A and B are shown apart, each in its own frame.
Chain A
Amino acid sequence: MHIDKDLVAASATPLVLGILADGESYGYAIVKRVNELSGGRMQWTDGMLYPLLHRLERLGYVEASWGTSEAGRRRKHYAITQAGRETLADRQQQWSVVADALKQVWQDVQRPPTVAEGWA
């Protein structure tokens, strides 16, 4: 399924922070986790994750450190910070407000015939 670009961009920050809240991780594992969580329906442009991670790092929401992968390559690991957890909680509230509102809209959309009858 294709998901609108803006929607992907808006949800990327809470998704990444949420995944990191479970424990430190690295770029490829984060993308894989997003795939699992969405049942493969959310396909990110993988390259875009890195500028986002750097932005979160600059804002102080995550901390990066270089480690080594099991294959012996250098790998950058990211861990969420306290500020990141606070932002995540904040975002969670914002998203639940949006989700609640949307839920009601979806319910209204499912009953268009009654509205049409009223006009008739």
Chain B
Amino acid sequence: MMSTNPELEAQIDQWRGYVQRRRAISASDVEEMEDHLREQVTDLTRTGLDDDEAFLVSVKRMGNLDEVSREFAREHSDRLWKQLVLVPEPSDGGARSWRELGVVLALALGAGAAVKIGVELFADEMVVLRNIGLLVLPFLAGYFAWKRKLTWRVGAALLLPFALLAVVLNVYPFEPDGSTLFLAASHSIVALWALISVAYAGGRWRSDARRMDYVRFTGELAIYFVLIALGGGVLIGLTLGTLSLVGVDFEPVLESWILPFCVPGALIVAAWLVEAKQNVVENIAPVLTRVFTPLTIVMLLVFLGVFATTGGLLDVDRELLILMDMVLVLVLCLLLYSISARDSLAPPGLFDVLQLVLVVAALAVDAVTLSAMLTRIAEFGFSANKAAALGLNLVLLVHLAWSAWLSVGFLRGKRPFDPIERWQTRYLPAYAGWALVVVVIFPPVFAFA
């Protein structure tokens, strides 16, 4: 009795796909409605309609899907919230999801073991700290290499710069506790992070869209990692408190086992969570930009007001430069994450104006401090720290200034939004390049001091 008309089947398939996209309608609801639709079609064809007509009438009777899905949402509002299914039901592909969990846990454990072995192997804590990125981040890259099925060629292309960084960090004759050592170690993390972007993009690192995805991933990862760390902190506090009541000293175990394993492990697990949730849960970073953009503008205006009334900066040292770099990085993050979530076709709005105000205010604050700083440097000369901070400041300045220029054009309706977005992603390699300069070229230039 069933119609096996392939055309009708194709139409029903299309309809099913269309309904499945509704978040409030679950798979079993779709099944239920599809059964309804098929019954209706069968009944209508018995009355003399052909398949095509019967299908159209049945779909029409099913009602406006927007309204139906709204009704489902009203009944199952939880579905709009709890969409994060970490281990999907084995409807397609069976055991695959459990395998991913296994891979993630193995890599998390591996990252922890690498740190633990590093701690045991190198007696000097500084050696571990300088290599921490080299110890942990390969496991993150490994996760993406597995997830994106990276080719061997891309893998080899990743290993080469990785090896270079490892050699530079460990073979250069750094003075212990010197600033070039600290700079090289901290900037190597940025360079490594850029390398991971290649694995994340599955080798397609030139694609603007993939780069923006990586920016989104980075923001979400940071937030998830912080959340996991907070939760972990609570657990550790409770354990410490309880065990100290019964007279057990928990601290040695905490320091030598739990922290070396859990902190790197949390990074891998956070990456997996972000991957699992990406399409399903709203990104948090862009939401935070909405809150903090106006607040940061207020902060910057206060800075400017204070500079103006106190008549300049009294004590200009490298700390101020680093502070200003951090302000610019903050502004850049606010800019980047709101751009990452903006519909590029939407017309200019109030928030775009606010963003321009933010960037201009940041540039003004930076100009004031930078001019003070430059006279200072002219007087006392460069140190590695000052040069690194100044270089980063310039890299950030170019990024923000050109963004501001592009947004002026966008707000005046002279340019579409797309160039602003593209500028962000195109400029990102500049940071990796600068980081590499600090790691590789700074130490010899500043005599490894």
Residues of A within 8 A of B (CB): 26-28, 31-32, 43, 45-48, 50-52, 54-55, 58, 69-71, 73-76
Which of A47, A58, A73 contacts B38 (CB under 8 A)?
A73
CB-based contact A27/B36 at 8 Å: yes
CB-based contact B72/A46 at 8 Å: no
CB-based contact A50/B35 at 8 Å: no
Identify 9 residue pairs between A and B in the complex whose beta-carbon atoms are under 8 Å apart, listed by A's number.
Answer: A26-B35, A45-B62, A46-B63, A47-B33, A48-B63, A50-B29, A50-B36, A51-B74, A76-B28
CB-based contact B75/A47 at 8 Å: no
Kindly name the residue among B39, B68, B74 whose own CB sees the greatest number of chain A CB atoms within 10 A.
B39
CB-based contact B61/A45 at 8 Å: yes
Chain B interface residue count, Cβ-Cβ cutoff 8 angstroms: 26
The yes or no answer to B52 lying at the interface (CB within 8 A) is no
Report B436 CB to chain A, min CB distance, Å. Answer: 57
Mask of B25-69 contacts with A, CB within 8 angstroms, 1/0: 000110111111011100100000000000000000111110110
Mask of B234-275 contacts with A, CB within 8 angstroms, 1/0: 000000000000000000000000000000000000000000
CB-based contact B35/A75 at 8 Å: yes
CB-based contact B38/A51 at 8 Å: no
Residues of B within 8 A of A (CB): 1-2, 28-29, 31-36, 38-40, 43, 61-65, 67-68, 71-72, 74-76
Q: Which residues from chain A contact B28 at a C-beta distance below 8 Å?
A: 76
Can you name 10 extra interface pairs (CB under 8 A) apart from A45-B61, A46-B61, A47-B65?
A28-B35, A45-B67, A45-B68, A46-B62, A47-B71, A50-B32, A51-B75, A54-B75, A71-B2, A76-B35
Q: Which residues from chain A contact B35 at a C-beta distance below 8 Å?
A: 26-28, 69, 73-76
CB-based contact A51/B68 at 8 Å: yes
CA gap between A50 and B24 in the complex, in Å = 12
Q: Which residues from chain B contact A58 at a C-beta distance below 8 Å?
A: 75
Report A8 CB to chain B, min CB distance, Å. Answer: 12
CB-based contact B40/A27 at 8 Å: no
CB-based contact A47/B62 at 8 Å: yes
Kindly name the residue among A27, A43, A51 whose own CB sees the greatest number of chain B CB atoms within 10 A.
A51
CB-based contact B68/A28 at 8 Å: no
Q: Provided the pairs A45-B63, A48-B63 are in contact, do residues A28 and B74 lie with their beta carbons within 8 angstroms?
A: no
Q: Which residues from chain A contact B63 at a C-beta distance below 8 Å?
A: 45-48
CA gap between A2 and B28 in the complex, in Å = 31
CB-based contact B68/A48 at 8 Å: yes
Q: Which residues from chain B contact A45 at a C-beta distance below 8 Å?
A: 61-64, 67-68
Residue of B nearest to A32 (CB): B43
CA gap between A74 and B31 in the complex, in Å = 8
